Structure 1
Amino acid sequence: MKIAISAAETSGDLVASSLVSALKLYRPDCEIEGLAGDKMAAAGCKRLWHTDQLNVMGLSEVLKKLPTILRLRRSIIQYFSSNRPDVFIGVDSPDFNFKIERKLKKNGVKTVHFVSPSVWAWRANRIHKIKKSADLMLCLFPFEVDFYRTHQQKAIFVGHPLAEKLKPRKKHTPNKQVLLMPGSREAEIKTLLPELLSAAKLMHKKDPEIQFSLSLANEHLKDWVEDKIQGLDIILSSDDSHEKIKNSDLVIVASGTATLEVALLAVPMVVVYKLSKVSYQIVKPLLNTKNISLPNKILGKDIVPELLQNDVNAQNIFEKAMKLIESDNTRLVKELEKIHGLLNQKASVKSAEAIIEFLNG
């Protein structure tokens, strides 16, 4: 069995490495090759191109590297058109991988996409591109399958790899620790942090025993953040969010994957998200979901408080946060614990089974 695979980012390399291991376990004789990072190579994937060639952040960097990116994509299409695999698996990075899938599918190659783009949240019209690209979609969330079924796209829920790493904490002793998580991208950090810091001041004024930490996804903006929190009693760190979340009474977090990490650890949270006025006016007509946070979307009800756009201000954050700090959150925690149960499906193994069954079908 010949399997082609493409993971265009570091996060994709991590998810795909577990999938490569699971495929090798089920079919030790299979050959897996393609665009891979170090973790995929260590798991047994033959690397024809390195993920580092594409691992870029920020619009200006993407534009600078665009000719290289397009050249690489053409090379992948040409190679797998000549050396036809039994299946091509695109891992996340839809803007990069869908084009490859579409071309190969036209040439009669079976195609699978692992990690659905957020079509359920915005730009639902992307479904037309997806149907032309992927024979099978492997979904991390159960509600995604419902969306695909309504559009007659074959999709399977496999669970989320994060649920295998993170599980609800046990026997937490309240400690009045509050964690601020302002996001991973420069624009969201610069937009959200001033409001989070103002809210922290209001909270400290109301209850001087509250202690604050701030966890950054990376050190990219550490100096800028350090400058902003000068004079405030806030412990700043980076790349240690899971430990920080576990030890907190409350997390005030930017909407995104971080909300799922907080939910899997079953910690109360306030979710915030704010775009620039121009960006929001562009995005608003394309939104097709009531909830902005993954915990509420997964559970299908309003469990954690959300603040979006104009509602993201210090006073509102302060009020939502203090309400949680001063409440018995037993019911909220029990609801969040359900998320771990829903998503802990041994995603890599289930994905490998689904791919092999799809090929044998």
Structure 2
Amino acid sequence: MARIAISAAETSGDLIGSALVEALKAQDSSLQIEGLCGVKMQYAGCDKRWDMSLVNVMGFTEVLKKLPALLKLRKAIIQHFSTHKPDVFIGIDAPDFNFVIERKLKKQGIKTLHFISPSVWAWRQSRLKKIKKSSDLVLCLFPFEVDFYKRHNQRAVFVGHPLAEKLTPRRAHIASQEILLMPGSRTGEVKRLLPELLAAAAIMAKNTPSLAFHLALANDDLLAWATNLVGNQSVAISVGQAHIHMQRADLVLVASGTAALELALVGVPMVVVYKLSPLSYFIASRLIKSPYISLPNVIANKSLVPELIQDEANADNIATQALKILKSDQTELVTAFNQIHQSLKLNAAQESAKLIIDFINE
């Protein structure tokens, strides 16, 4: 009976990990899977030795506050699996937390695998040395990641993206005149972008009065602030319903991130905006190696969608790009989006489970 150790330290990791655990159990019901996980992975069949809530924090100050507890937990995980050696250790995302565990266990001859490559191809490429010391095998969500790792002699396999299985390209979209605003989920991000998006919406409404605008907030943390900011402007607001509204939107003004990939997978035209604090941008601009910031452009390796970065992410530029898209034929763009969907849909969980079992048996 093979034993699999696993560590998912974030909510997104628990979601992806649950599909992986379920697929592993489907291929071999005798597998013993245990580790750090959340409710979804536990329900799928993972023995929850440590609860993910102990480590699932965001933000620099929050991490600092929990740092002693995080270090203690990581030490406990290393000690447990050093004593009760698994056939493989799987770190799911959370590279800063999981790579240390992987590196310590790998030194003891335990096979290590990292699921979801960090964006080392885009920035902080110095992390590659850490990855090579930590992971025997990296499972990648994007094909270009494998090409990057091969150039640096790191074993990696493309398994597809789970979102491509959950999201389906819309067919025969009928123009709705609805413009969706998606300013992101993090507080700083929303506060930097939403004023510009609303100002762009005002310009667009003046140019084309028939347009209807909808603001999709990821959570209600900033609902009161956003409602006050919208004021008397004709913009509807919803919380946690972005997927519903993106299905019928003609265009989305979206913060760079996973949401841009979701829109591409559904087949929705977009304008991508990206804005950091001045200091963060100063640092990031010197570390980023990719010519593009949005995943649709990175995957296609060409400019499919407009990207407005930092000072360029202002109301006039956003409105200009948006109106240009609305007045042009988007058939070619939607075709390119459908190709992205096809390229990423490989049944990621099932493919990963098969690779992991084969990896154990090598």
TM-score (norm: length of structure 2): 0.98
Aligned to 1:44: 45
| Equivalent in the alignment of 2:192 | 191
Q: Is the 8 A contact 1:98 1:133 kept in 2?
A: yes
Task: Give the deviation of 1:209 after TM superposition.
Answer: 0.7
Cα-Cα RMSD: 0.8
Aligned position for 2:289:
288
| Map of 1:315 onto structure 2 | 316
2:138, 2:220 → 1: CA distance?
34
Equivalent-residue separation in structure 2 for 1:230 and 1:63 (angstroms) = 37
1:167 pairs with 2:174: no
State the SS of the aligned residue for 2:289: coil
Query: Aligned partners of 1:136, 1:230: CA distance in 2, in Å?
Result: 52
**Partner Cα distance (1:267, 1:276) in 2:** 28
Structure 2 CA distance, aligned partners of 1:266 and 1:64? Answer: 41
SS at match of 2:126: helix
Percentage identity across paired residues of the two chains: 57
Q: Residues 320-359 of structure 1: CA distance to partner in whole angstroms, max 9, x if unpaired?
A: 0000111111111111111110111000000011111112
How far apart, CA to CA, are the structure 1 residues paired with 2:285 and 2:341?
30
**Which segments of 5 or more consecutive residues in structure 2 lack a partner in the other structure?**
none
**Does 1:113 pair with 2:114?**
yes
User: Which runs of structure 2 are paired with 1:160-309 in the superposition (5 Å)?
Assistant: 160-309=161-310
Q: Which runs of 5+ in 1 are unaligned?
A: none
Match of 2:85 in 1: 84
The equivalent of 1:353 in structure 2 is 354
Return 50-59 or 243-252, whichever deviates more: 50-59
Question: How big is the shift at 1:58?
Answer: 2.2
Q: Which amino acid aligns with 1:133?
A: S
Give the conservation status (yes or no) of the 8 Å contact 1:178–1:210.
yes
3-state SS of paired residue (1:84): coil
Give the TM-score of the pair, scaled to structure 1. Answer: 0.99
Deviations 1:242-291 (A, max 9, x none): 11111100001011000010000000000110111111111111110001
Aligned equivalent of 1:155: 156
- The equivalent residue for 1:31 is 32
d(CA) in 1 for partners of 2:349 and 2:76?
28
Question: For 1:303 and 1:282, how far apart are their aligned partners in 2?
Answer: 26
Q: Give the corresponding residue for 1:103.
A: 104
Q: What corresponds to 2:60 in structure 1?
A: 59
Amino acid corresponding to residue 194 of structure 2 in structure 1: L
- SS of the residue 2:201 aligns to: helix
- For 1:61 and 1:130, how far apart are their aligned partners in 2? 25
Whole-angstrom CA distance in 2 between matches of 1:97 and 1:260: 25
Q: Distance in 2 between matches of 1:10 and 1:36?
A: 9
Q: Partners of 2:343 and 2:220 in 1: how far apart?
A: 33
- Greater mean deviation of Cα atoms: 55-64 or 88-97: 55-64
CA distance in 2, matches of 1:94, 1:216: 28
Secondary structure of the 2:74 match is helix
- The residue type paired with residue 222 of structure 1 is L
Q: Give the counterpart letter for 2:16 in structure 1.
A: V
Whether the 8 Å CA contact 1:176–1:325 is kept in 2: the answer is: no
Q: Which residue of 1 aligns with 2:21?
A: 20
Tell me which amino acid in the other structure corresponds to 2:326.
I
Query: 1:175, 1:256 → 2: CA distance?
Result: 25
Contact 1:179-1:244 at 8 Å conserved across structures: yes
Q: Distance in 2 between matches of 1:296 and 1:257?
A: 13
Which SS does the other structure have where 1:124 is aligned? coil
* Separation of aligned partners in 2, 1:212 and 1:171: 21
